[in-house]
Chains A and B, each alone.
Chain A
Amino acid sequence: MNFIPLLFYAAAGLAYGLHFARRSPQAGRMATASLAAAALVHTFVIGMQTMEAGHLPFVGAAAAISAFVWLLAVAYLYTEVSTDERAIGVFIVPLLLVLQAVSAVGDRVPEPTPVLDSPLLALHVMSVLFAYAGFALACVVGITYVLLFRELKAKQLGFFAARLPSLQVLDAMNGRAVGIGWLFLTAGLVVGALWLFQLQPDTVDPRVRAMSLLDPKIFVVLLSWLVYSFELYARRAIGWNGKRAAWLSALGFSIVLLNLVPVGYFLTESHNF
């Protein structure tokens, strides 16, 4: 069912592309409206999947990615409405599109598993995915920062200078997105650990038993947590703002993506529900 929102995201992608090229306010409003429509349709799809499965459809890599896409779309729409800044949409929506395509290809309804029926788990998945959405936003904002930074440094103001908000705004957005993402990731990991401790002594599920710091999924997520912790620390303590912060958030998010797609699909033994 995940291909239905995919079509809507594709339409939104076109609209954002048009807005970026033409910079007409009308195209901008159209872009926002189409993305809002896509997010709404996606909400319905997730709602239907919830009713079908009996719990929130975050189980399994495909469902998790779809939920992540939905969260990112909502988070981005929120930033767009609150900052009135649409230029980043053209970078965000393709990411939504690719990830939603991945989740649409591997779409299947998982078998119900009793260990998954826990509010702690839902909280864990929700907050980790929300953190990822924040990191995705930070990464995209970071990339746009570097693009604009290069034009300003080369004294060749052109394509991006005409379209992007100021460096300071992009840097602040990056900092805020990483900060929020880091908080949710930390909370999500703590909740996940609590769930595990509650469960592990008396479960026979091999996947739950495989959950340890050495499992690729858990190992890689901790790695990304370290990268983001360092970015936050370095920004405050040693003035690693701007370009360096942008590169760090790009590095962090590539680790997150690695975890979400290849590790989530093929490598992990613990999280493959």
Chain B
Amino acid sequence: MSSKTNARKLSEQMASSLEAVEGRSLWQDAWARFRKNRAAMTSVCVLLVIVVCILIGPSLSPFGHDDIDWNVVSDPYELGKPSLTSGHYFGTDDLGQDLYARTMKGGRLSIMVGFMGALVAVVIGTVWGSISGYVGGVVDSVMMRIIEVLDSIPFMFMVILFVTLFGNNIYLIFIVIGMVSWLGIARVVRGVTFSIKKREFVEAARSIGVSRLTIVRRHVLPNVLGIVMVYSSLMVPGFILFESFLSFLGLGVQPPDTSWGILIAEGAKTIDVALWLLLFPSAFLVATLFCFNFIGDGLRDALDPKDR
């Protein structure tokens, strides 16, 4: 009698201990690894702070991004120095516009543009790569040849050519950039798809009659997701940089809109008299780029299958 209850207790204990060692998914594993990466976690926090600043920052300033403060216009390099009392936390530019408001406003555009470009590139690259890798054969080689041809086009120059011809609508520019920078992602996704296609679980799915589209959607894409995330997290800073680069040259955003690139370009012209005009926007840009790079590195270490 008692041995029976004992046995039941024992089995219950075993069952509960079994529950305790519930298997961890790939994502839980990756998250645990990512959390241990101090640089990446700090970057996430700093980036969050920057994003919050950009979102609610403008309402904390008494000045709008294109308001002119007539009190400082007479001598902007003296009266427009950064100070807490005048309300110009970061100072003003030579027109008397508040740099704090402008940096926040510019940041919105810079970061949004980075994400938009990456989104377009990721969508096109993933679709192209997974089709090419999964279908294989002639389709694959044609699709890869097309990538090879596109790869030898100097995109910076093509984009500038495009801007020359169709004006500087910044979102248009970024869709164009996104559309021309999906090549790397497509290559990577194709490679991964190619190797997944030959795995047993895909074969099993095929043997029970799952359609091709469903296999790609249910089995291939989730496995590709990790590497795509790593890749795109490294692409966002690239796009932010490129937008700043275009704006620095005067080919990107047009006034009264602004972005970090424009602010840096303006600051670079007055380094000898008003260093703050260069320092504040540069600091924000560089900090953001730092964060994205560390996060990207952290994601790679967390998700890279090589490590396992």
**Co-complex (A, B):** no
